[in-house]
Amino acid sequence: MLKRPMAAVALVAALAVGAAACGGTTKNSTAKDGGNAATSGKKADPNAPIKQNLKLAFLPKQVNNPYETIVDNAGIAAAKGFYAQAKEVGPSDASASSQISYLNTLIQQRQDAILIAANDPNAVCGPLKQAMSRKIAVVSYDSDAAKECRDVFINQASSEEIGRSEIKVMSDLIGGKGKIAILSATANATNQNTWIEFMKDELKKPEYSGIQLVKVAYGDDDDQKSFQQTQGLLQAYPDLKGIIAPTTVGIAAAARYVSSSKYKGKVEVSGLGTPNQMRKFVKDGTVHKFELWDPGNLGYLAAYAAAALVSGQITGAQGETFKAGKLGSRTIGKDGEVILGPPTVFDKSNIDNYHF
Ligand code: RAM
């Protein structure tokens, strides 16, 4: 992908319009849905060999988040398997402005691919477009960038399934009745905001009429802030029945607060967490159920997608397929999205089977 003259860009754009008029792109199509200027004019070849010595850079939301560390380390290990050099760079706070300076450096370094968990879908768009115009493949993972600013998005699971299931799980835990709050990550996080929209939509169903969402709080994926936000929620709403934290940092902090407070046994904490961080709260009875996918597989899949883009196996168009090592053949869906798989629900019966 990515190396072509302007005339080819125009041709690809024309083909993309034509394909859209014909009802969408198909396998081996010549341009992605969005008509992205950085994608190749060449036909995608799912059997093209992965190029060697590629330079891949993971730019997580923040580097000191245990979840992002698992994702990126697995991606870096996967890249070694196809003889690429991969690294992780990124800010210690989950902010888009902090990510921009890293993006500028990665562009100057002429990485072959940038993999980003975007702290804001739009704020990182300028430098990502610049990267694509300089023939750098852009893969978003975990938290998407606006779709015109990346080639593909590697999503951990269906966003709709994650959002709706969070409500179902909480409703079961509180018997379908009572006040709940959401403790999110940062206010602009694409992934959390998408899930929260689906949660709100799910709550409109008649079976949840007894549940009232009283507040969405933001802990910024900062442990201390998330802990304090939990305390604040329980002070403001002493009759709160449940907290959904769709963030591994938030759920661990909320569970820690509740586990040693008078609310233990009265307030359910659920959401998305890593089994290793949540194990003690499941064992001490604070947490009964939560969800996640395998973060290592997310990084692994993102690394293969980046290599597939740079090697010409895919351009980012819907219907294209690529081989993702142990995860098998993967197909690009609508809007350039590739889904890892369904989330797992953890409780005391299975948590000891998971070690991440
Ligand atoms: C946190 C981050 C990340 C999210 C997980 C579930 O670690 O916010 O983006 O996917 O939680």
Instruction: Please tell me the predicted confidence (pLDDT) of residue 43.
Output: 84
Asked if domains 55-156+294-343 and 159-292 share a fold, the reply is yes
Instruction: Please tell me the predicted confidence (pLDDT) of residue 25.
Output: 31
* 205 Cβ contact list (under 8 Å, min separation 6): none
Instruction: Please tell me the predicted confidence (pLDDT) of residue 41.
Output: 61
Residue spans of the chain under pLDDT 50: 1-38
Amino acid at 219: G
SS3 state of residue 86: strand
Q: Indicate the burial class of 292 (C-beta count within 10 angstroms; 0-12, 13-18, 19 or more).
A: buried
Q: Which of 61, 144, 161, 188 has most ligand 1 atoms within 8 Å of its beta carbon, as the pocket-test mutant?
A: 61
Instruction: Please tell me the predicted confidence (pLDDT) of residue 33.
Output: 38
Give the pocket of ligand 1 (CB within 6 Å): 61, 65, 67, 117, 142-143, 185, 191, 221, 247-249, 272
The residue assigned the tokens 């893969």 is: 139
- Domain 159-292 CATH class label: alpha beta
At residue 215, φ and ψ (nearest 5 deg) are -165, 145
Quickly name the fold that domain 55-156+294-343 has. Answer: Rossmann fold (3.40.50)
Give the Å distance between the CA of 68 and the centre of ligand 1: 7
Q: How far is CA 94 from the centre of its chain?
A: 14
Q: Which helix (H) or strand (E) holds 271?
A: strand 268-271
Instruction: Please tell me the predicted confidence (pLDDT) of residue 39.
Output: 53
Domain ranges of the chain: 55-156+294-343, 159-292
Helix axes 223-236, 248-259, angle to 10 degrees: 60
Strand runs labelled E in 51-195? 55-59, 85-88, 113-116, 137-141, 152-155, 178-184
pLDDT in tens, 248-280: 999 999 999 999 999 999 999 999 999 999 999
Index of the ligand 1 atom closest to the CA of residue 221:
8
Instruction: Please tell me the predicted confidence (pLDDT) of residue 60.
Output: 98
Index of the ligand 1 atom closest to the CA of residue 68:
7
Index of the ligand 1 atom closest to the CA of residue 246:
6
Instruction: Please tell me the predicted confidence (pLDDT) of residue 42.
Output: 65
Task: Locate 242 and state its tokens.
Answer: 């449940």
Paired residues of 58 in beta bridges: 88, 115
